[in-house]
Amino acid sequence: MYPLKFRPILKERLWGGTKLKDVLGKPITCEITGESWELSTVEGDVSVVANGELSGTSLQQLINDNAEQVLGKSVFERFGTEFPILIKFIDAKQDLSVQLHPNDELAKKRHNSFGKTEMWYIMDADEDANLIVGFNKDVSKEQYSQSLAENTLLELLNYEQVKEGDTFFINTGKIHAIGAGVLLAEIQQTSDVTYRVFDFDRKDKDGNYRELHTELALDAIDYEKKDDFKVLYPKKTDTVNPMVDCPYFKTNFLELTQDLFLDTSKRDSFTIYMCVGGSAVVMNDFGETSISKGETVLVSANTTNILLKTKGSKLLEVTI
């Protein structure tokens, strides 16, 4: 299977803007587009191939027909025919709601879903843009509930100012929010389960407050202050720089000024490339596909080598 691109699945969000179009070239037609889903098998939002002879074929169909070849034997044994990763670009013109995600056990019990561990790579940030990540002190469940009742939750939260290249790992249970002015790449478990706990008293386009998940969140929150979210990674050029290695995905950062050859014969996993700067050509045993900033390519697991041809690019590499 040659390297595959997929049609972006564009999502309108009340907090969205136009950076997906202005910075990444996405074909948005609405000025509140918040997300571009790049790779997904979430029901109702399944990615479709956009390039080559497989154009028009869904990612789910490719996996159903060739699971081990696409996913890798060990990935197939672990996840079956469900693609375990959801890849997005997110543009926050306004602050997102304060939220968190349940772990696997809770998500399975309540929603028959995976939990949602995720990673953010900041691609663009307005001056003084920030994220909310965790609490600024240890908090009890009672203190947290009282802060919601008194509308003082924001006083308990930890704010992180961000710039391009900053990377954050968001464990399940960690309270968080993407701040206004941030454009980022998101890598996460395949799950769309979110517990929204504070939404700045905003109303949707129909004048309604969005649903809060106050009770569901109480047993899912990690109330401890933890400084475990900032990902410090090497930034050497023309090599593979490890970023995150967790049970759900592994990510590397590649800043290339020249071609790079990778032996993937022992990699029992698909490989995803998200281009966060410049452009490149991704080549494998079966063909080649160009990639530029804001695009994503999937390389099947039965690839024995990958050649990245470029004169200048920044790539996030994702495997299982």
Radius of gyration of the chain (CA): 19
Instruction: Examine the domain organization and report whether 188 and 300 are in the same domain.
Output: no
Residue 245, by phi and psi: left (phi above 0), alpha (psi -120 to 50) or beta?
Answer: beta
First to last CA, the chain: 18
Structural domain includes residue 1: no
Q: Which amino acid is at 254?
A: L
For the stretch 272-294, pLDDT in tens is: 999 999 999 999 999 999 999 99
Nearest to 122 by CA among 229, 8, 41: 229
**pLDDT band for position 48 (50/70/90)?**
very high
Burial (CB count <10 Å: 0-12, 13-18, 19+), residue 75: buried
Instruction: Examine the domain organization and report whether 271 and 199 are in the same domain.
Output: no
Strand, helix or coil for residue 215: helix
**pLDDT band for position 202 (50/70/90)?**
confident
Strand, helix or coil for residue 99: strand
Q: Is the per-residue pLDDT at 233 higher than 90?
A: yes
Return the pLDDT at 254. Answer: 98
Structural domain includes residue 277: yes
Return the pLDDT at 164. Answer: 97
Instruction: Examine the domain organization and report whether 31 and 158 are in the same domain.
Output: yes
CA dihedral sign of residues 143, 162, 189, 55: positive
Total of domains in the chain: 2
Return the pLDDT at 259. Answer: 98
For the stretch 242-251, pLDDT in tens is: 999 999 999 9
Nearest to 98 by CA among 219, 212, 183: 212
The pair of structure tokens assigned to 107 is 């998500």
Q: What is the pTM of this model?
A: 0.95
Instruction: Examine the domain organization and report whether 248 and 210 are in the same domain.
Output: no
Instruction: Examine the domain organization and report whether 198 and 315 are in the same domain.
Output: no
Instruction: Examine the domain organization and report whether 15 and 104 are in the same domain.
Output: yes
DSSP state of 89: E
Instruction: Examine the domain organization and report whether 254 and 199 are in the same domain.
Output: no
CATH code: domain of residue 116: 2.60.120.10
* 283-312 burial code (b ≥16 CB/10 A, e <16): bbeeeebebebbbbbbbbbbbeebebbbee
Decide if 24 contacts 16 (C-beta within 8 A). Answer: no
210 is catalytic: no
Out of 183, 218, 253, pick the residue that ends a domain: 218
Structural domain includes residue 106: yes
Structural domain includes residue 228: no
**pLDDT band for position 102 (50/70/90)?**
very high
Structural domain includes residue 230: no
Burial (CB count <10 Å: 0-12, 13-18, 19+), residue 19: buried
Instruction: Examine the domain organization and report whether 254 and 145 are in the same domain.
Output: no
Burial (CB count <10 Å: 0-12, 13-18, 19+), residue 280: buried
**pLDDT band for position 92 (50/70/90)?**
very high
Return the pLDDT at 4. Answer: 98
29-51: average pLDDT: 96
Structural domain includes residue 225: no
Q: Residue 281 and residue 302: Cα distance in Å, rounded?
A: 19
Structural domain includes residue 83: yes
Please list, in sequence order, all residues whose beta carbon lies within 8 angstroms of the beta carbon of residue 111, skipping any fewer than 6 positions away. 102, 193
Structural domain includes residue 236: no
Among the listed residues 7, 13, 196, 202, the single catalytic one is: 196
Name the average pLDDT for the chain.
96
Strand, helix or coil for residue 86: strand
Q: What are the residues facing 46 on neighbouring strands?
A: 41
Integer angstrom CA distances of residue 15 from 94, 96, 179, 213, 229: 5, 6, 10, 19, 24
Instruction: Examine the domain organization and report whether 133 and 185 are in the same domain.
Output: yes
Return the pLDDT at 114. Answer: 86
For the stretch 255-273, pLDDT in tens is: 999 999 999 999 999 999 9
Instruction: Examine the domain organization and report whether 51 and 153 are in the same domain.
Output: yes
Instruction: Examine the domain organization and report whether 136 and 189 are in the same domain.
Output: yes
Q: Residue 315 and residue 320: Cα distance in Å, rounded?
A: 17
Return the pLDDT at 289. Answer: 98
Number of H helices, E strands in the chain: 7, 20
Domain that residue 162 falls in = 9-218
Instruction: Examine the domain organization and report whether 113 and 205 are in the same domain.
Output: yes
Decide if 317 contacts 251 (C-beta within 8 A). Answer: yes
